[in-house]
Structure 1
Amino acid sequence: MKVCFYGTDEEITRICERPILAVLGRHHAQPVLAFELFNVRVTTDPYQTTFRLVADLSEVRERGERD
């Protein structure tokens, strides 16, 4: 699955520093899911104020196992 994040330099840096993202289920009814980021690419807009991070996500099911 692909994902895009838009944000400032500081926000994008925070995402890049963490190779595993935790996502809460809808309405907190489902357990927390963990995703690994890979194939990360960061670009900037022409005015260099907003950055775009594009990455592939893979669900981490068990220790080191990807979906």
Structure 2
Amino acid sequence: MRVCFHGTDEEITRICERPVLALLGPRRTQPVLAFELSNVRISTDPYGTVFRLVADLTEVRREANGRD
């Protein structure tokens, strides 16, 4: 899945520093899904105030270990 984030330098930096992102799912499904970022590209607007991060997201699957 490809995703795009728009934000300030600080916001984009926070996203890039995390190896795994947790995103809230819709109601009545898994409440939180974890994704890893890959193929990250960052660009800026002509005025340099807003940044755009484009990346592929890969869902992190939990290993079944017999405990829930």
User: In which range does the TM-score fall when normalised by the shorter chain?
Assistant: 0.7 to 0.9
Tell me the amino acid that sits aligned with residue 56 of structure 1.
D
- Structure 2: state its 5+ residue gaps: 64-68
> TM-score, normalization: structure 1?
0.85
Aligned to 1:48: 48
8 A Cα contact 1:24 1:30, kept in partner: no
**Are the equivalent residues in 2 in contact too, given 1:44–1:52 (CA < 8 A)?**
yes
CA separation in 2, counterparts of 1:50 and 1:25? 26
Q: Identify, as 1 or 2, the structure richer in strand.
A: 1
For residue 62 of structure 1, give the secondary structure of its aligned residue in structure 2: coil
Structure 1 vs Structure 2 CA RMSD? 1.1
Residue 47 of structure 2 aligns to a residue whose secondary structure is: coil
State the number of aligned residues: 62
What's the % identity of the aligned pairs?
A: 73
Q: TM-score, normalised by structure 2?
A: 0.84
Query: Where in structure 1 do 4 or more consecutive aligned residues deviate above 6 Å?
Result: none
User: Which residue of structure 1 lines up, in the alignment, with residue 66 of structure 2?
Assistant: none
Corresponding residue for 2:6? 6
User: Which residue of structure 2 aligns with residue 30 of structure 1?
Assistant: 29
Structure label with greater radius of gyration: 2
